[in-house]
Amino acid sequence: MTIGTMDVDSACARMAALSDPIRLRLLALIHKHGELCVCEMTHALSLPQPKISKHLAVLRNVELVRMRRNAQWVLYGLEHEAAAWLDGVLAITLRDIETDAAIVGDAKRLAGMRVRPQPCRDK
């Protein structure tokens, strides 16, 4: 998919990327916090790390998120090239599901993280 342009197929690919609860929860977190590292998301969702990584790879492949390495951590943020579409869809959807138990729980667990990795704060 070429950034900037959108055809039916790439729109479908992006919809498919959004059609998974784990990926939607990840995006909700990233959308709220700007940038997060994998260990934070792993902790927030309480799921195995490979699973989180794999889902992030899916989001990365359709260019909804981008990754940035900082020391031994990898930070994920929204792909700003896709922001026009993504921000719209995400805003509309998150507004409807922000009270969902899973979404709320994720936010709580992330907030309750005792020692958050260093690079995640020096943005």
Partner DNA sequence: TGGGAATATCCTGACGAACGTATATGCGTA
Partner DNA sequence: TACGCATATACGTTCGTCAGGATATTCCCA
Interacting span for DNA (CB under 7 A) from 67-75, 85-93, 94-102, 103-111: 67-75
Binding-residue total with DNA (CB under 7 A): 26
Closest CB to DNA among residues 22, 107: 22
Nearer to DNA, 75 or 90 (CB): 75
Task: Count the helices and strands in the chain (H runs, E runs).
Answer: 6, 3
Question: CB-wise, 70 or 94, nearer to DNA?
Answer: 70
DSSP code per residue over 36-105: EEHHHHHHHHT--HHHHHHHHHHHHHTTSEEEEEETTEEEEEE-GGGHHHHHHHHHHHHHHHTT-HHHHH
Q: How far apart are CA 17 and CA 98, in angstroms?
A: 19
Instruction: Write down the least CB distance from residue 20 to a copy of itself, Å.
Output: 6
Kindly report the backbone phi and psi dihedral angles of residue 52, in degrees, each rounded to the nearest multiple of 5, phi listed first.
Answer: -60, -45
User: Does residue 72 interact with DNA by CB under 7 A?
Assistant: yes
Binding range to DNA, per CB under 7 A, among 2-10, 50-58, 82-90, 97-105: 50-58
Residue 69 binds DNA, judged by CB under 7 A: yes
Pick 38 or 90: Cβ nearer DNA: 38
